[in-house]
Amino acid sequence: MKKILFFDVDGTLYNSEKILPTSAKEALFEARRKGYELAIATGRAPFMIQSLLEELDINTYITFNGQYVVYKGEVVYTNGIKKDELAEIIAFGEARNEPVVFLDDKQMIASVGNDNKVAESLNTLKYPYPKLDSSYYMQNNVYQTLIFMEEKDELLYREAFPNVQFVRWHRYSCDILPKGGSKAAGIEKVLERMGLTLEDAIAFGDGINDIEMLQAVGTSIAMGNGHERVKAVATHVADHVDEDGIAKIMRQLNII
């Protein structure tokens, strides 16, 4: 039976230095030689993973946690929050000095300049401070918005905006997703195109935004460096990403 492997990027393929270990790259190529399809499933934007896609020769990917899905180079699904609802969230944040960053498939745009929370969060992705345009979302398709606030204030947003999800990826930042939006929903779009079921999919992840994906697929792997909530839902737990976790678990599961 044909199978497909979905890999998260940060903390799963990329190690703590934001580098793809040679062992992981070789393991993915070996899996492809054995007949597995390879795909990326990330919270990142398409433009942020171009070098990785080229290095691994992958043209199927789920980005923005399921909001922008590409199968064999073709965009097959997009989603986003309605502009009026996004405007309300932005206004709520502005009143609290909590800025946002907009993302489409090609670039990242900040609502304010020189914000320390924005700078620190994006620095963990090795990404520079974005250009500024506070009204960017009004004239452009925005597939994901980041809100920069602390975890202690998350409940205020959840209560004020029950129709969206706030998925934390940094101590200062959350992805804002439509209700029901997830990597799992994106995976289903890919599997539909391939004529496969969720049982035919194997997924690897480490973060909170990987939970739905790992719960949905037939075989799920949480990285040893992953969040405890992620490990709790996975069928297998790998070693730390910095300790060749991907290659080791792929051998253990007889994928390679």
Backbone angles phi, psi at 39, to 5 degrees: -145, 155
8, 104, 115, 244: the catalytic one is 8
Across-strand partners of 204? 7, 221
Can you read off the two tokens belonging to residue 248?
A: 């080791």
Assign 203 to helix, strand or coil: strand
Under DSSP, the state recorded for 161 is: -
On whether the CB atoms of residues 206 and 193 are closer than 8 A, the answer is: no
Tell me, yes or no, if 8 is annotated catalytic.
yes
**Residue partners of 126: CB distance under 8 A and separation at least 6:** 18
On whether the CB atoms of residues 82 and 143 are closer than 8 A, the answer is: no
Give the helix/strand (H/E) hosting 230.
helix 228-233
Opening angle at CA 233, ends 227 and 252, nearest 5: 90
Q: What is the DSSP string of 42-92?
A: -SS-GGGSHHHHHHHT---EEEGGGTEEEETTEEEEE----HHHHHHHHHH
Q: Which residues are catalytic?
A: 8
